[in-house]
Chains A and B, each alone.
Chain A
Amino acid sequence: MPETLFDKIWRSHLVARRGDGRDLIYIDRHVLHDLHAPHALAQLDAKQRPVRRPDLTFATQDHTIASKPGRDDTTNPEGAPFLRATRAGSARHGIRLFDLGDPEQGISHVVAPELGMVLPGATHAVPDSHACTVGGLGVLAFGCGASELEHVLATQVLALRRPRRMRVRADGRLGTQVTAKDLALRIIAEIGVAGGRGHSIEYAGTATRGLDVEGRLTLCNLTIEMGARSGFVAPDDTTFQWLAGRPFAPQGAAWDRALAHWGTLVSDEDATFEREFAIDCDALEPQITWGTDPSQAVGVSARVPQAASDGMRRALDYMGLRGGEPLEGLPVGRVFIGSCTNARLPDLEAAAAVVRGRKIPPNVTALVVPGSTSVKRAAEARGLDEVFRSAGFLWGESGCSMCAGGNGDRGLPQERCVSTTNRNFENRQGTAVRTHLASPATAAAAAIAGRIVDVRKLLAGVA
């Protein structure tokens, strides 16, 4: 019987069907973080249950850690108890922690792929909804809550209801300055924030295939914003070349053996999906959100839509916008380039290419926070930090930073912020902050222009 890639990974990880009908799915790699590890580890200790496989479990400090250069535990005072509890809990259970000061500390969804911890056809869990990011390597990942986290720690499996299968085909070619982020925002706008609920999404099509691994990670990262817990791209030569030689990836004969298996990780030609969605990328332009959920996105040259419901009206009200006004030209007070969505090296390179030789206006605050300390080091080796600093950007230490403001990095009330993150919810980046989601290039262009602008026009000197 023909199988989708999802079916193959699910079948090969099915440990047993539990008495209540749920499938026990083995979790190959598990990464904790400072926001949720303390509670789950405390629960485990209270019940005197050991961590079943500390050797397959990792932890990182990302959510509450300060981004300020020279940071320590107390730079963000609210974060200190989380960082310390994560450190103590990881030590107690023998879990490798990427701690503050570790040369490979960073956002879990950036660290796990770049170190080769997650591998094609593997399963992955993180107590964070953006666990789906690593689907970019052909990994089946599950974001989970603190109780499910505790469950994985104790058993190394998740007890799941089998999701339905959905395929999103992105065909055609992405134009200049049109990125995986723009594609993802367009898909969310088309299918809605609940469009993928109950499904596991496989991204396919020529435009998807044409993305580099970092682009695929960005695309898969935004799967949860479509309501689906998992999304992935079938691995191919691009994936394998990217993974080869990464520290935790198999090597030598073990690599060859793994590679032979990974070559089978595709959906069979006649396999069926419960749901299909197709999008053509030829005419796609850079996208930007105007509202307060990620589906409220339009091309940057478009006008703010007229309110067609009370919900839209409330979004416009919060965002300080009138239906029908152009997005281009809206003054911007803050720009954030970072997060598990868009803070890998090619993201920073794309932003730096826009920024190079230019300066931001004095009334704009712009912050770049690399997704990991490894990304930061690589960017500095290429002189990107200097490009950003000399343009007037702040250059931070790695972590989630302003994505959810959990580390104290927040905007000001009513401030308009162009952000490379994943959620434009009310108050997410600080009380009353007006978030516009966009790609790194579009965010960088907004910082330089001091207003929302089409990056292609800025670079052509016509904006």
Chain B
Amino acid sequence: MTPFTTLTGAAAPLLAHVPAKWTPVRRQEHAPSLEDDINTDQIAPQQMDRRLDPDYRAMLFRRQRQDADFVLNRPQFQDAAILVAGRNFGCGSARETAVWALMAWGIRCVVARGFADIFRENCLQNGVLPLELDGAGADAFAARVVAADGAAPFTVDLPAQTIGGPGGPDVNFDIAPADRLRLLEGLDDIGLTLKHADDIAAWERRTATEQPWLQSARDRR
């Protein structure tokens, strides 16, 4: 896995889609209004290209990209490195293709007000940083991303745990120390676990005695 230390590039905001013909329903709780609850079916609509080895770059937000105004259709975001969204990003299916599609675009960091559990794990498995910002800091940061509109880059500094760019000071973010370490070192997750091969074997021996039904999955007919 490629280690993640710093990342600099355009930050693309996933703004909630409001057709021009709509009058606003009410002022959003946070401004600007970033899309909440983006699910993995939206991120990677695999139904449109079901192959063992699909074109993941073409798959990314493929349905939304049918709209010419969609953020990833704009020239300044063709090499976007950071995606900025609202709450609960990556909900729905466990499909890791959602992360692979982001990576195929060159996106190595998603900034959101929260991530679905499985999607967050899938990010970490692939060296993609799920960067959680919440509260007023998130509002201010989103406004800066929208104002920058891809004209100037943002920089994520994982060792320093900051994200910065035009329009204000660097913003601190929290990340679990284990997740930070894993990204920084680009650690092979399976390799890390296999250092405990003896512990796994010991657990199996103990369980074969104490709960033998767990260690045997035979068809008893």
Binding site for B on A (CB under 8 A): 12, 15-16, 18-22, 24, 26, 28-29, 35-36, 38-39, 47, 49, 52, 55-56, 58, 64, 78-79, 81-82, 85, 115, 117, 119, 121-122, 127-129, 131, 143-148, 150-151, 154-157, 159, 161, 163, 193-194, 197-198, 224, 227-229, 247-251, 254, 257-258, 261, 293, 307-314, 404-406, 410, 423, 425-428
Contact = CB atoms under 8 A, between A and B. Distances in A.
Contacts of B96: 36, 145-147
Given A161-B178, A311-B36, A49 B190 contact: yes
Given A247-B220, A247-B221, A311-B36, A404 B93 contact: yes
A227 B217 contact: no
Interface string B17-28: 110001011101
Given A24-B200, A82-B52, A145-B122, 6 more contacts: A21-B177, A21-B178, A39-B52, A128-B93, A308-B25, A310-B24
Contact of A20 (B52, B114, B181): B181
Contact of B182 (A20, A52, A56, A156): A20
Given A20-B187, A143-B118, A427-B45, A157 B200 contact: yes
Given A28-B214, A29-B217, A428 B41 contact: yes
Contacts of B212: 250, 254, 257
A261 B211 contact: yes
Contacts of A310: 16, 18, 22, 24-25, 28, 33
A346 B211 CA distance: 32
B39 interface: yes
Contacts of A258: 211, 213
Contact of A193 (B18, B42, B52, B91): B91
Contacts of A423: 39, 41, 92-93
Interface string B107-132: 00000001011100110011000000
A154 B63 contact: no
B189 interface: yes
Interface stretch (B4-12, B137-145, B191-199): B191-199
B125 A145 contact: yes
Nearest to A129: B94
B192 A426 contact: no
A16 B196 contact: yes
A248 B219 contact: yes
B179 to A, nearest CB: 8
Contact of B26 (A29, A197, A309): A309
Nearest to A430: B47
B28 A144 contact: no
Given A16-B196, A161-B176, A193 B37 contact: yes
Given A156-B200, A309-B28, A227 B94 contact: no
B57 interface: no
Contacts of A12: 211
A144 B200 contact: no
A211 B46 CA distance: 36
Contacts of B176: 21, 161
B84 to A, nearest CB: 17
B118 A129 contact: yes
Interface in B53-100: 63, 87-88, 91-96, 99
